[in-house]
Amino acid sequence: MPLASETRLANDKDPTAAARSAMAAAVELEVVETARWLGKDKLDPAVIAALARVPRHRFVPEHDRAFAYENRPLPIGHRQTISQPYIVALMTDLAAVKPSDRVLEVGTGCGYQAAILAELAKRVYSIETVPELAAAAAERLAALGYDTIEVRHGDGAQGWPEAAPFDAILVTAAAQRRIPPALLEQLAPGGRLVIPLERGAGALTWAVGHDQELLLVVKDEAGELQEKSVIPVAFVPLVERRG
């Protein structure tokens, strides 16, 4: 298992160690509080451990680093955010990433979710539609030693055809009423796709006052798709370049 940051963060004098542990504990508590949505009250311990290893403060703007280990999203510029650690952990858990997996992330942002995935997967491919964010994330991840992550600028809704198929796909922006067909095509048999979806008023809307839901899509060995709604969410919209 490629634990890219394990050595980096093993130092007992690491000033963020306690904050990272506290953040992971806050995520575990929120999982318990949302168990009625999730159908379970614990996430995979490997996911929680990855969350406690990755230096989240390196992925947020300097002026917000005092808040880096709070369990909440933070702005990263270009009208984008670094997701709440709870959501990052939940999406990673739903993807059920294994050490042999090749994973596609749509929406690199600052690179934090990609780093979490790289702690668990063999290879991570991440696409970002904002060129400045893609370039900054690639530089940041390389500086942190994540050599199993490849980042590029492009249309995430089109996936990464030349690297497909993927054992898991995570989308960190909300698609509009339908899952991009290219992502479904690039999901390997037995693979799992985790995506926020904008569906308009629906069964989950009343609970939180918005109309996005986090979906888990599983492709069986015969290529058939099974879809499960997990929890109401709020993400920035997925930019698709149609036509």
Alpha-carbon distance of 152 to 24, in angstroms, equals: 29
Alpha-carbon distance of 195 to 178, in angstroms, equals: 10
**First and final C-alpha spacing in the chain:** 40
At which residue do the structure tokens 């109401």 appear? Answer: 232
| 5, 83, 100, 229: the active-site residue | 83
Alpha-carbon distance of 69 to 52, in angstroms, equals: 10
Q: Is the peptide bond between 165 and the residue preceding it cis, with omega within 30 degrees of 0?
A: yes
Strand partners, 75: 81
Q: Is the peptide bond between 61 and the residue preceding it cis, with omega within 30 degrees of 0?
A: no
One-letter amino acid of 114: A
Nearest to 128 by CA among 120, 139, 116, 144: 139
Active-site annotation holds for 83: yes
Cβ neighbours around 51 below 10 Å, total: 23
The residues carrying an active-site annotation are: 83
